Amino acid sequence: MKFLIVVLACAVVAEGIVRVPLVKHKSIRQALREKGVHLPYQDPALKYQPTEFAGGSTAMYINNYADTTYYGAITIGTPPQSFQVLFDTGSANLWVDSIYCNTQACNAHTKFNPQASSTYSAKGQTFYLPYGAGSLYGVFGYDTVNVGGIVINNQEIGLSTNEPGQNFVVAKFDGILGLSYPTISAGGETPVMDNMMSKRLLQADIFAFYMTGGGQQGSELSFGGVDNTKYSGQIYWTPVTSQTYWQIGVSGFGINGQETGWCSQGCQAIVDTGTSMLTAPSSLIGGIMQSIGAQRNQYGQYVVDCSQASNLPTFSFTLSGVPFPLPPSAYIQQENQECVVAITPTYLPSQNGQPLWIFGDVFLRSYYSVYDRAYNRVGFATAA
């Protein structure tokens, strides 16, 4: 399940870096289940289908919602209107709820009013955006956008006109700010990061995520630099294999120190801050669940005996020759009285046909992740 709180980010300046805060509650699926709505499983990889001055850096503190969504405040327009947006490395467009939309999902959120902004201009182009969960229709326009103190003039933004279904109704964000490559941007819209780069607003053409777990606050998104207080050891780099999503190669997958050979012919992984789970190739799910003795519950989730959770195996991914372990504390989540395996299947291969993983928040809470547009690479370091 991909998505999703509301806490105004406050800015604090320290050591030349502007820091602005992401919060934690029930997931969308849980909240809807309590209302009697049971969403069918949706493959998280569906959203990947086609459809002039010295710069600085900023570090935004972002909210953690139920360990499923990491979002923070941006402003759009003049005077500024504030919105909570999900920061998503798995998509490229910026959009927010708007006064043009009156569906239940839109009415539950803050709406952008372009008529109240003196800097807004319409583009007259419509769009449709499908995600792993939820979709929307909208129109494009231009306005001033402020992300953690970085001001981007004439940024293309999407204004929602229709958000069908229930997926966004209980979402805690008012929109999504995509951070992937412009090649997958709907309507050819220039992503926020690309405008920051072209306008030379950044000290370096990178951004980085630190994601807290266990419902703790203090998550952080940095633009233009890294925060070396948020990780230990060194950053290990691996090249982007497709400049669409933040896609990287996986050369090995081990269970409790034993290489499985499942990625010996190569696997791919999309590093996606907007997907809450770790998503595994469907062909491997059976073997993974068997290795930890997981069984399905009435909702189709894989669960394990909570008394045995700490004894489960550690998984390990090999990226450019470096192993990145993932202990059971990272992939087991307690929901009510059950211990749920936070790993879901995708039935779609990568573009080159290799098995596809999605390194969602379950993986990213263990590792500080750095996204380098200058050298087209992703870096990982052990999270502090």
Nearest alpha carbon to residue 227 among 74, 15, 8: 15
Query: Does residue 360 carry a pLDDT above 50?
Result: yes
* Token couple for 232: 């230990």
Please give the pLDDT value at position 96: 98
356 close to 342: Cβ distance less than 8 angstroms: no
Separation between Cα atoms, residue 339 and residue 88, nearest integer Å: 27
Please report which confidence band the pLDDT of residue 35 belongs to, taking 50, 70 and 90 as the band edges: low
Q: Name the class of domain 231-383.
A: mainly beta
Residue position matching structure tokens 């289940």: 33
Q: Which of 12-26, 109-123, 336-350 has the highest mean pLDDT?
A: 109-123
Please report which confidence band the pLDDT of residue 335 belongs to, taking 50, 70 and 90 as the band edges: confident
Please give the pLDDT value at position 30: 62
pTM here is 0.86
Please report which confidence band the pLDDT of residue 22 belongs to, taking 50, 70 and 90 as the band edges: very low
Query: Does residue 304 carry a pLDDT above 60?
Result: yes
Mean pLDDT rounded to a whole number for the chain: 89
Q: What is the mean pLDDT of residues 100-106?
A: 96
Residue predicted with more confidence, 140 or 132:
140
Query: Does residue 324 carry a pLDDT above 70?
Result: yes
- Would 12-223 and 231-383 be classified into the same CATH topology? yes
203-212, 251-260, 348-357: lowest mean pLDDT where? 348-357
| Residue 194, helix vs strand vs coil | helix
Q: What is the mean pLDDT of residues 315-335?
A: 97
Please give the pLDDT value at position 9: 32
Residue predicted with more confidence, 35 or 384:
384
Please give the pLDDT value at position 28: 55
Separation between Cα atoms, residue 314 and residue 280, nearest integer Å: 15
Q: Could you give the C-alpha distances from 190 to 184, 195, 198, 208, 280, in angstroms and in order?
A: 10, 7, 10, 20, 31
Please report which confidence band the pLDDT of residue 32 belongs to, taking 50, 70 and 90 as the band edges: low
Catalytic positions, please?
Answer: 88, 272
21-30, 190-199, 253-262: lowest mean pLDDT where? 21-30
Q: Name the class of domain 12-223.
A: mainly beta
| Full DSSP string of 153-185 | EEEEEEEEEE--SSTTTT-S-SEEEE-S-GGG-
Please give the pLDDT value at position 188: 94
Query: Does residue 7 carry a pLDDT above 50?
Result: no
Q: What is the mean pLDDT of residues 132-155?
A: 94
- Distant-in-sequence, close-in-space partners of 102: CB < 8 Å, separation ≥ 6: none
Residue predicted with more confidence, 264 or 51:
264
Please report which confidence band the pLDDT of residue 351 belongs to, taking 50, 70 and 90 as the band edges: confident
Please report which confidence band the pLDDT of residue 206 belongs to, taking 50, 70 and 90 as the band edges: very high
Q: Sketch the domain layout of the chain as residue ranges.
A: 12-223, 231-383
Q: Which of 68-72, 213-217, 296-300 has the highest mean pLDDT?
A: 68-72
Residue-wise pLDDT tens digits, 56-97: 889 999 999 999 999 999 999 999 999 999 999 999 999 999
Residue-wise pLDDT tens digits, 165-178: 888 998 999 999 99
Please give the pLDDT value at position 350: 83
Query: Does residue 260 carry a pLDDT above 80?
Result: yes
Query: Does residue 303 carry a pLDDT above 50?
Result: yes
